Amino acid sequence: MASPGGAALQRHASVAVLRAAEATGNLSAGKAVHAQTVRAAHFDVVLHNHLIAFYAKCGGLGLALAHQVFDAMPSRNPVSGNLLMSGYASSGRHGDALALLRAADFSLNQYVLSTAVSATAHVRSYDMGRQCHGHAVKSGLAEHHYVCNALLHMYCQCAHVEDAVKVFEGVSGFNAFAFNSMINGFLDKGKFDCSVSVVRSMVGEVEQWDHVLYVAVLGHCASTKELLLGRQVHAQALKRRLELSVYVGSALVDMYGKCECACDAHSAFEVLPEKNVVSWTAVMTAYTQNEMFEEALQLFLDLKMEGVQPNEFTYAVALNSCAGLAALKNGNALSASAMKTGHWGALSVCNALINMYAKSGNINNAWRVFLYMTWRDVVSWNLIIIGYAHHGLAREAMSVFHDMLFAEEAPSYVTFVGVLSACAQLGLVDEGLYYLNIMMKEMGIKPGREHYTCMVGLLCRDGRLDEAEHFILNNYIGTDVVAWKSLLGSCQVYKNYGLGHRVAEQILHLKPNDVGTYVMLSNMYAKANRWDGVVKVRKLMRERGVRKEPGVSWIQAGSEVQVFTSDDKNHQLINQITRKLRALIDQIKVIGYVPNFGVVLHDVEDEQKEEHLMYHSEKMALAFGLIHSPEGATIRIMKNLKICDDCHVAMKLISLVTRRRIVVRDTVRFHCIEDGVCSCDDHW
């Protein structure tokens, strides 16, 4: 039998070997120590705990061995259980950690309890969390900082913020983690007023703030868009030189970005002495949120030049910037880079890929990414449903929605925007009313302006224009210009010009400078041969100083993006484009194309009107695409305004004579045109 002194030396040597094995990841060396421990006649709880700690950090097989050591121990202390539970938790096996707690034959100290409560937070087990809380109260550990902070986090994660408030009110003294937990808990549940009250209660403790609290308060400012408070917090951070902390600096960048101050976000980024991938991603996000997509992509290139390795979130931001530009080739390049660096399968990257492909007009690739994903969240489902809806593939959108329900993924507010949009395309009035009035309420989702606007579109699509007008007025969306414009567009489609004039007056009352309404009103007068009305519209525009924003379209050719502005004849290839346009128009006139002079607001002769129509930006981009793309390739065009009636008709006919698929993304939706048919079915 070993002497006490010899056992201590043996333990010391074994622990040293285990630490060295852990540093090098040498599982065999750890097993050798384990074998020697088994052969020893003397049981040493400390050495066994070190073995558990070593195996637990090895993950996978190591965790199984750690559990074997734990089971073989004739007696255990709280450290034994805490080490094994922590190992399971750090490996994401929170259920196994809780199973160990249920079978615990060791006393529970504050560390074991905090680990257990954290595990219940991860699995959203409110009942188990309550039981842990009860045990903490009985054992007098509920006020310990570790346990208290874990309870706050658990209740917030389990959507029981009112219980978190009770725990928070019992916190004695200033606890930075407790304040942080409460702010984030309120923000996650959208309870901004409650978050404000917590922030105010912290103001008197400003000298005790550390970088964690600055990050939390700046997160509050970002979520609530409280720019003034954010600037005040920034000033406090400057006084304490904490703005140079990469954590606080990144939070400042995020706050300014969400408050629509991209320049200030970049300034906060520039002063950071050390820029890591988090700060680079934060400033890219700020640019993307403010629709400065090209600048965001340039920052991605700068990041690579600086030798900083992008993570999954950096790739996601860059891909979302490509989505904003509909830059399919850049998106494909980023996809390849993400695959090469091992980030392609990450949830955030896959979601961004779906978004990029859907907004770049390649919904088939978006669907392929969706099918590849081994795990999807509600964002994944929403992106593919809305992507299908925007591409006019309403049946596919509804099919995915039913798959979502079958997969037991709870739909969100955004999901039903896509579903109701798909119902509108299919004319499913009864189904749309069911989703709006019954299913959404059963799921606790309060209908919003977007849902009601979709219902207006649904009623309009079915030709029930008077019902649509009553729906707008009865659901308190009478100030929603988008809803009225949806009705106005349908008045034009169904030639209900009387209602159309009344709706146009309502829109111009709400938004006197809305150019699109003047254009549609002029179109309706022209289609009714009311040329006096057309003249009246032009006169009204002149009196109000309303000018039609020039149409701008762009198309990617190779690595460059070509931009075209309506009536701009200064492009370097204008002669080539003009010849192509004249040839195309001559071809489509043979099969029925008649220029629609009603969309021309200029008071000029018909010959000049026809030339003006020919040089619309989307027609110029189309001609360029036909010239500079391989035979049979899809033409993808982006436009800053809604595609005009004349260009829409012309493109459908051009798709016939050229046998090309044409995809146009305007401010309303995608127009996927093939063989003379558009996915919008002439309703948009």
Query: How many CB atoms within 10 Å of residue 576?
Result: 14
Residue 336: pLDDT band with limits 50, 70, 90 = very high
**Mean pLDDT over residues 460-476, rounded?**
90
Whether residue 1 has pLDDT greater than 50: no
- The per-residue pLDDT for range 65-86, each reduced to its tens digit, is 878 878 778 777 777 877 877 7
Q: Are strands 560-565 and 635-639 parallel, antiparallel or unpaired?
A: unpaired
Query: Could you give the angle at the alpha carbon of 17 between the alpha carbons of 15 and 19, nearest 5°?
Result: 70
CA dihedral 511, 512, 517, 523 (to 10 degrees): 170
Report the run of H or E that residue 178 belongs to, with start and end: helix 176-188
Structure tokens at 652: 């459908």
Cα-Cα-Cα-Cα dihedral sign, residues 95, 97, 101, 102: positive
Burial string for 294-320 (b: 16+ CB within 10 Å, else e) reads ebbbebbeebeeeebebbbbbbbbbbb
H helical segments located in 225-346: 227-239, 246-258, 262-270, 277-289, 293-305, 312-325, 328-340
Q: Which of 249, 245, 278 is nearest to 266 (CA)?
A: 249
- The per-residue pLDDT for range 137-179, each reduced to its tens digit, is 887 877 777 788 788 778 877 777 778 777 777 766 656 677 7
Local structure of 141: helix, strand or coil:
coil
**Mean pLDDT over residues 457-471, rounded?**
91
Structure tokens at 244: 């140079």
Report the run of H or E that residue 554 belongs to, with start and end: strand 552-557
Report the run of H or E that residue 352 belongs to, with start and end: helix 347-359
Amino acid sitting at position 596: N
Q: How far apart are CA 537 and CA 118, in angstroms?
A: 65
- The per-residue pLDDT for range 584-596, each reduced to its tens digit, is 999 999 999 988 8
Question: In angstroms, what CA-CA distances link 10 with 3, 31, 439?
Answer: 10, 16, 67
Whether residue 207 has pLDDT greater than 80: no
Q: Where are the domains of the chain?
A: 197-298, 310-375, 376-447, 448-544, 552-678
Structure tokens at 609: 């009107």
Q: Which of 160, 164, 191, 189 is nearest to 179 (CA)?
A: 164
Whether residue 606 has pLDDT greater than 70: no
**Mean pLDDT over residues 33-37, rounded?**
71
Residues contacting 678, CB < 8 A, separation 6+? 392, 648, 651, 652, 671, 672
Query: How many CB atoms within 10 Å of residue 531?
Result: 11
Check: CB of residue 534 under 8 Å from CB of residue 501.
no
**Which residues lie across from 636 on neighbouring strands?**
663
pLDDT value of residue 68: 80
Q: How far apart are CA 429 and CA 359, in angstroms?
A: 27
Complete edge-to-edge strand list for the sheet that includes strand 560-565: 560-565, 552-557, 635-639, 662-665, 670-674, 677-678
- The per-residue pLDDT for range 354-401, each reduced to its tens digit, is 999 999 889 999 999 999 998 899 999 999 999 999 888 999 999 999
Number of H helices, E strands in the chain: 37, 6
Residue 181: pLDDT band with limits 50, 70, 90 = confident
Question: Would you say the pTM of this structure is higher than 0.75?
Answer: no
Burial classification of residue 538, based on how many CB atoms lie within 10 Å of its CB (0-12 exposed, 13-18 middle, 19 or more buried): middle
Q: Which of 263, 181, 250, 201 is nearest to 222 (CA)?
A: 250
Whether residue 433 has pLDDT greater than 50: yes
Structure tokens at 311: 């993570």
- Residue identified by tokens 């190992």 is 87
What's domain 448-544's architecture?
Alpha Horseshoe (1.25)
Phi, psi of 616 (to 5 degrees): -65, 145
**Mean pLDDT over residues 224-235, rounded?**
86
